[in-house]
Chain A
Amino acid sequence: MRKLSLTHWLLCYPKTALVGCLLLVLISCSGLAKLWISIDYQVYYANDDPYRLALNSLESQYGKTQNAYLVIRNKNSKENATTPEAIQALYELTQAAWQIPFSQRVTSVTNYKYIQAQGDDIQVAPLLDNPVSLSSAEIKVALQRLQQEPAVNQLLLGKDQIMTAVNVGLHLPDNPIAETRQVTQYIRNMLTDFKQRYPHFQFFASGSVFADEVFAVATEQDLLTLIPLSYAVLIVFLVILLRSTRAMLLVLTLVTLSVTIAFGIKGWINPVISPVTAFAPSMIMIIAVADCIHLLNGFMYHRRQGLTPSAAVIESLRLNSRPVILTSVTTIIGFLAMNFSSSPAFHDLGNVVAIGVGAALLLALVMLPAFLLIKPIPVTANASVISRFMPYLAKKLAQYPYVFLTSSLLLSLLLIVGISQNKINETFIAFFDNSFEFRQNAEAIDHHLTGLHRIDYILPTDKAEGIFQPSYQQTLAKFSHWLRQQPEVAHVETYSDIIKRLNQALHADKPAKYTIPDKAELIAQYQLLYELSLPYGHDLNNRISFNHDATRLTVRLWLTDSAAILAFDQRVQNWLELHAPDIVQTQQKAGLISQGIGIDMMFAHIALNNIPAMYYGTLVALLLISFIIIGALRSLKVGSLGMLTNLFPITMAFGLWGWLSGQVGLSISVVASLTLGLVVDDTVHFLHRYLHARRHQGLTPSQALTTTLESSGVAIVTTSIVLAASFAVLAASHYTPNAQLGLLTAITIIFALVIDLLLLPPLLFLLDQRLTHLSVIKEVEHAPH
C-alpha cells in the first residue's frame, strides 16, 4: 500500500523526486573530498591484531623496520659488482644514502664496521673506507674478509658477488602516505644520477618503502583502468540489451551516481581507500546495472504492449520493485557478511558496496521512474535470441528431466571434488604481475643477493642485563647456526655474531677464539667497548633492548609463499621449545607472542585466519538470506530447495579453482559471501515466477516451467551474462588478488546460471510432479492471496 502511494507521489511530483535524489547525491558528495589512498599495508590489519601490536611494540623498542635496499649490478654479465669502479660507486651511493629523507641507518660493505685486532687494541672501522686509495688486490682481500662476516654475506654482498647493496633503515611517521612517495622519489632521482655517472652498472631499489609504494601504484592503476573498462563493458552490453542510447546514458548516470553516493558516504565514515576498496566502484556499477535493467525491461515491455509512459512506469514498478528490493537486500547481506573477515580492508569493501547497492536501489526505484515520467525514452521492437531459445530448453527439460538432473549433478560433483585441491596460501610477490618493476627487482635480488621476506624474533631473558649471560649467548649462537642451515633462510642477523667477533679480535684475531666468552662481565664490557667505537647510524639499539633483557634476531627468507613462512615459523617454535625453554618460558610469562614478527608474518597469518572468519560470515549470510527468501516465496520447501541449489555454484567454483590454481588467499576467501548475494538473485526470480504461475495462473508444472523460462529465464540469462562479463573484466587488474577475485566471481555467476537453468528446473519439476497431489498444491492453496 505504501509502495503504491509512493508510486502515486512519484507520478504527481516527478521533478521533486528527481531534485531530491540529486540533492542526496550532492550532500554525500561532500564526503568525497575527505578520501585518500592509503599506502600503508597496515590497512589490512585490525588495530588490535596481536601481530600488529607485536610489530608496534618491537618498533617502539628497536626502531622502525622500514627500509630501502639499493642494489648495484654490473651490466657486463661476465664481471661482478666488486670491481674497483663498482666499489667506488657503492661507496658514493652509501654516502649519498645518508641524505635520503627519514634515513636512520645506512650500511654497505664500504662502511661496515669491521672488528679486528690492532696490536693489543681492537679496531672497529670500515675496510673499504675511501676505496679510491686502494688497489684492486687490496679491495679483493678486504672483500674476502667481509664475505666471512655473517652480517654482510648475502645481505650487503652476494655470495656470487654479482650484486652489492646498501641497506637503508628508515624511520617514517605513522600513515606515511606522502612520506613514502617522497622517499621513493628521492631514491629514484638519486639512482638516475648514479646511472649517468656509472653507465656500466645497473642501479635498482627494493625494500619495504617500495613494497608500500607498489600497493598504492596497484590501487591507482586499478582505479584508472578497471573503472573505464567496467564502463566500456557496460556501455556495450547496455546498447545491445536496451537498443537505445538514451536509455544507456540514463543507466550509466544512475550507476555513476550510486558509486558517488557510496564513496561520498564512505568519505564521512572511513576515508581510507585501500587496494581492495579500489575494486568497489566497479562492483557497485555492475550490481546497480542489474536493478536498472530489470526496471527498464519492464517499462519497455509494457510500452510495447501499448501502455502510456506513466502507465508503463506504474506497471513496471508494480511487477519488478518487489524482486528488485528482494535481490538488493540479499546482495547487501552478502556484502555485509564481509564484516566477518579478519581484515578491516574487506569490511570496508563489503560496507561500501553494500551502501552502493542500497543507493542504486533507491535511485532505480525513485530517480529512474521519475526521469522516465519527465522524459520518456523511445522504445524499439525487440525479439532477442535468448527468448527464442527458452521455449526449446523448457520443452527438453520437461522431456528428459532425469538426463539433465544427473548430468548436471555429475558435472557439479566432478568440479566439487576439486575443493580438496585448495590450500590456504598466499604468495606476496605474486600479488603483482610481471609488469611491476617491484616484482622484477625482488626476483633479481632473490636470485643473487638476499630474500625479500623478513621475520624478527624477540628473544627475552627473565631479568635486566640477562643478555650478557654466556648461556643465553650460547643459545643465541646455536639458534642462529640452526637457522642458517634451514633451506628457506637467506640471512640471519644476530647479536651473538658480534660478541664472538669481539672475543676473537680481543684475542689477537685467533680463529679459535670466535666463540662466546665464558663470563657475563666479559660480554658486557666487550659490548661497551664496541658501542663506544660506533658512529651515528651503526649503533646496537636496533639489536638489543636498552635494559639488556632481550635481543632481536632478524631472519630473511628467500621468496616463498605464506604457507611456507608459517611452516618455517612453526619449526622455529619447535626448535626453541626444545633447545631454549628459558626463552620460551619468559615469552609466555611476559605475554609476548613467540611467533615471528613482521609484515610477512602478518600477511601469512591473515590469510590463514580469514578463512574460518569468512566461513562463519558466509554461514550467517546464508541463514539470513534463506529466511528472507523462504519468507518472500512463502514456501518452506521451495525456498529451501532454492537455497540448497545456491550452494552448488559456490562450491563448484571453488572446486574449479582447486583444479586450476589451488591457492586460496585473502581475497579468494571472501568470494563465497560476496557471490552468495548475487547468485541467489537468479533463483529468486526463477522461483518467484514459477510459484506465481502455479499459484495464480493455475498452470501445470510443465506449463509453469515453460512460462517461467520464457519470461524470467531471459532476464536471468541477460543479467548473469552482464554480471559475469563485467566481473571477468576485473580480472584484467595487474594486482592479482583483485584479478582473482573478479575471475572467481565471474566463474561463480556462470555456474549459478548453469545450475539455475539445468539443475533447478528438472529438480523442481520432478519434485513438484511427485508432490502435486500432496503438499505443494496444498501449500499453494493455503498460501495467502
Chain B
Amino acid sequence: MHLINKISCRQTVYWLTFSFSVIASTLIVTHTSQASTASNQQVPQALAEAKKRGYEIAENADLQDLGYSDMQVNVKMILLDAMGRRAERSLAVNTLEMTKDGDRSLTLFLSPRDQKGTVLLTHAHPQANDDQWLYLPALRRVKRITANDRSGPFVGSEFAYEDMIRQEVDDYSYRLLKSTQFEDKPAWLLERTPKDIHSGYSKQHVWLDKQAYRIWRIDFYDRKNTLLKTLFFEGYQQYANAYWRPLRSIMENYQTGKKTILEYSDYRFKTGLTTAQFSQYQLRSQAH
C-alpha cells in the first residue's frame, strides 16, 4: 500500500510537470506566432518596395547600354574539368540593338574545325520565345531550332545559351536584396527570377556596382533552388566612351567541378551592321 502511494505520488508529480511544460510551451508558441503575424503585415509592403527598386535597377542597367546600336567581339571559350583537362572553342559574336524588339545576335563558330562556318542566329523577344536558326555549311542549309526549351549547356560548356547573351529586362522579375559592397565597390545585390518556365534556373543573384551598373557576379540556382554555378566578370573596360564590357567571364559549376572561361577580344561598336545581316534568309552569306 505504501509502495502504491509512493508510485502514484511520483506519477502525480510527473504529470504535473508534464502538463505545466505543455501549457508553458503552448503559451510561448502562441505568443511568438502573434509576434510574427504582426511583423508579417509589414512584409508585403517591404516586398513590393524591394521588387520596385529591383526592377528600377535592372532598367537602369539596361539603359546604360542604350544606343550602342551594334557590337562585334571575338570570344575564346576555354573549358576545364576538375582534373584539369582542357578544351577550346572560338566564336565571333555580332549583336544588333533593336528598339522595338529584343536584340539580334549572330554567333559564328570558328573552331572546332568540323563546326567551322556554322552560324547561329537569334532573334530575342522580350515577351515570347526567342527565334533561332542554325546555318550548317556541310549541308549548305539553314535549319530552324524548333525546341522552345533550350536551357542546356552551350557547346558542352558550363554556360547555357541564356547566360551568354544580353538579357532583356522583362525576361525576369526582380527583387532588391540589399545594398552591399563588391570588392570595395558599392554595389546592389539583386535577385532575379526567370519568367520562362523552361529556364534551367529557379533564381539568380546578381551583383552590380552602383557606379556604372556593371554586373560583377551572378549566382545561379538550379530548379531545386540549390546553388549550381557562379559567373564572375573581370577586367571591365569602357568602349566608345560609353559601354562597359568585361575581358573575361568565368563560370564555375559547383556540382560538377567544371569551369568555363570566356575571353573577349577586339570589341567593336557601331560598325554599321544592318537588320538584313541578321535575317535568316541571309544566313548563308554571313558564314564567310
Contact = CB atoms under 8 A, between A and B. Distances in A.
A521 B114 contact: yes
Interface string A466-478: 0010000000000
A547 B89 CA distance: 9
B115 A528 contact: yes
Interface string B64-83: 00000000000000010111
Interface of B: 79, 81-83, 85-88, 109, 112-115, 118, 120, 132, 134, 136-139, 141, 143-147, 149-157, 160-161, 198, 200, 222-224, 226, 255-257
Contacts of A547: 79, 85-88
Interface string A120-131: 111111000000
A331 to B, nearest CB: 44
Interface string A505-546: 010000000000001111111101101111111111100111
B15 to A, nearest CB: 33
Closest 3 CB pairs of A and B: A536-B200, A524-B114, A547-B87
Contact of A534 (B87, B115, B143, B152): B152
Given A528-B155, A539-B152, A539-B153, A546 B79 contact: yes
Contact of A98 (B147, B157, B224): B224
Contacts of B145: 529, 532-533
Contacts of A34: none
A163 B178 CA distance: 50
Given A528-B134, A533-B146, A465 B156 contact: no
B147 A60 contact: no
Given A535-B149, A535-B152, A525 B81 contact: no
Contact of A548 (B86, B112, B257): B112
A538 B257 CA distance: 18
A525 B112 CA distance: 10
Contacts of A525: 114-115, 118, 136-139
Given A60-B81, A525-B139, A546-B79, A121 B146 contact: yes
Contacts of A534: 147, 150, 152
A344 interface: no
Nearest to A519: B138
Nearest to B156: A546
A98 B223 contact: yes
A526 B151 CA distance: 18
A520 to B, nearest CB: 5
Contact of B224 (A101, A522, A531): A101
B139 A99 contact: no
16 contacts: A98-B224, A99-B224, A120-B141, A122-B143, A464-B112, A521-B115, A521-B138, A522-B136, A528-B109, A529-B134, A534-B147, A535-B151, A537-B200, A539-B152, A545-B85, A547-B79
B112 A465 contact: yes
Contacts, number: 134
Given A61-B81, A123-B146, 17 more contacts: A60-B81, A60-B82, A61-B83, A98-B223, A101-B224, A102-B255, A122-B143, A125-B147, A521-B115, A532-B150, A532-B161, A535-B152, A538-B152, A539-B152, A540-B156, A545-B87, A547-B79
Contact of B112 (A125, A524, A526): A524
A171 interface: yes
A531 B183 CA distance: 37
Contacts of B223: 98-99, 536
Contacts of A63: 256
Contact of B132 (A171, A523, A532): A532
Given A124-B147, A535-B151, A61 B85 contact: yes
Most A CB contacts (10 A, CB to CB) among B112, B152, B156, B157 go to B152
A506 B88 CA distance: 28
Contacts of B146: 118, 121-125, 533
A427 interface: no
Nearest to B201: A536
A523 B85 CA distance: 24
B144 to A, nearest CB: 5
Given A60-B82, A525-B136, A121 B224 contact: no
A57 interface: yes
A121 B157 CA distance: 25
